[in-house]
Structure 1
Amino acid sequence: MTIRQHFETLILRTAGPGFTDLTAAVARCLAALGAGDGLLTLFVRHTSASLTIQENADPAVLADLAAALDRLAPRSASYRHASEGPDDMPAHVRTMLTATSLSIPVRQGRMLLGTWQAVYLVEHRDRPREREVVVHFVGEMARCG
């Protein structure tokens, strides 16, 4: 195997506010590449959605995280920027509090996530949206597409 890099974009449709588990989709990307050891970067191309690595065992964790974001950036606050609706500025604040990119080490083609970790896209807007997540892998791979 040789060291290469690969880019692709995952197009995801969210159901509105909440967490979408990307772990399996990203693992399929790595498998299709024949990934070996390397570094994976994920980047969401939006200012009102974010990425996070969180617990995947107890759904109450995600519900509690959503409630915490509601408290930190309530829709009912007085924001100057409201041209796209009352969920717009709180979505920007929530994105700022979370992350737009993640770096994940990869060993033998597998993300080195902990036992209870999963990769999530977090939708901060009230309606369903189409979101783009850029997948960038640098490392050993059997083929480069």
Structure 2
Amino acid sequence: MTCYQQLLKIKTAGKSLCNITAKVEAAVGESEIEIGLCTLFLRHTSASLLIQENADPDVLRDLENFFAKLVPEDSQRYIHNAEGPDDMPAHIRTALTKTSEHIPISQGKLLLGTWQGIYIWEHRQRSHIREVVVHIAGNLAI
């Protein structure tokens, strides 16, 4: 078994979903692993990783609207506010979602579904540089 690792640095555009599928697919291609598993880990506590619909942008807007209602940015609700009124809600949103994903690889490609894409979900208002560790383990082509 072979392992490959790459650190992706992604600039987000503030509170939104940033599609990173192509960057992860490129890392899988560079790994030359034919069959295995791709593990993604986001090194932050105020953003999330998400596999979600990549065809209809209304799905992403609906998710954002739902979470805005579920976890409002109201500084009166939270004790932690040292980094601004959007920080504690961002931590809660991350706790409700996740910071890692696992995707099988076959024939050197991610086995995502037809309508699936990989996203960083930025929960903060302003842009950030987010780091995603791409760890790929498996067998090389023979």
Contact residue 31 and residue 136 of structure 2 kept, 8 A: no
Q: Paired residue for 1:40, among 38, 41, 44? A: 38
Equivalent in the alignment of 1:82: 81
Contact kept, 8 Å, 2:33 with 2:137, in 1: the verdict is no
Q: Which amino acid aligns with 2:85?
A: P
1:133 aligns with 2:129: no
The reply on whether 1:31 has 2:24 as its aligned counterpart is no
Q: Aligned equivalents of 1:82 and 1:91: distance in 2?
A: 11
| Cα distance, 1:83 vs structure 2 | 0.5
| 1:6, distance to aligned residue in structure 2 (A) | 1.2
- Residue 119 in structure 1 maps to residue 118 in structure 2: yes
1:34 is displaced (CA, Å) by 1.3
Q: Could you tell me how far apart the structure 2 residues matched to 1:41 and 1:32 are?
A: 15
What TM-score comes out, normalization by structure 1 length?
0.94
SS at match of 1:54: strand
Shift of 1:7: 1.3
Task: State whether structure 2 residue 97 is matched by structure 1 residue 98.
Answer: yes
- Tell me how large the CA RMSD over aligned residues is: 0.9
Q: What number of residue pairs does the alignment pair up?
A: 140
Q: What is the Cα deviation at residue 13 of structure 1? A: 0.4
Partner residue of 2:52? 54
TM-score, normalization: structure 2?
0.96
Structure 2: gaps of 5 or more residues: none
Paired residue secondary structure (1:114): coil
Unaligned runs of 5+ in 1: none
Report the Cα offset of residue 141 of structure 1. Answer: 2.8
SS at match of 1:92: helix
CA deviation map 1:40-87 (0-9, x unaligned): 100000000110000001000000000111111100251000000000
Corresponding residue for 1:109?
Answer: 108
Taking only the aligned residue pairs, the percentage that are identical comes to 51
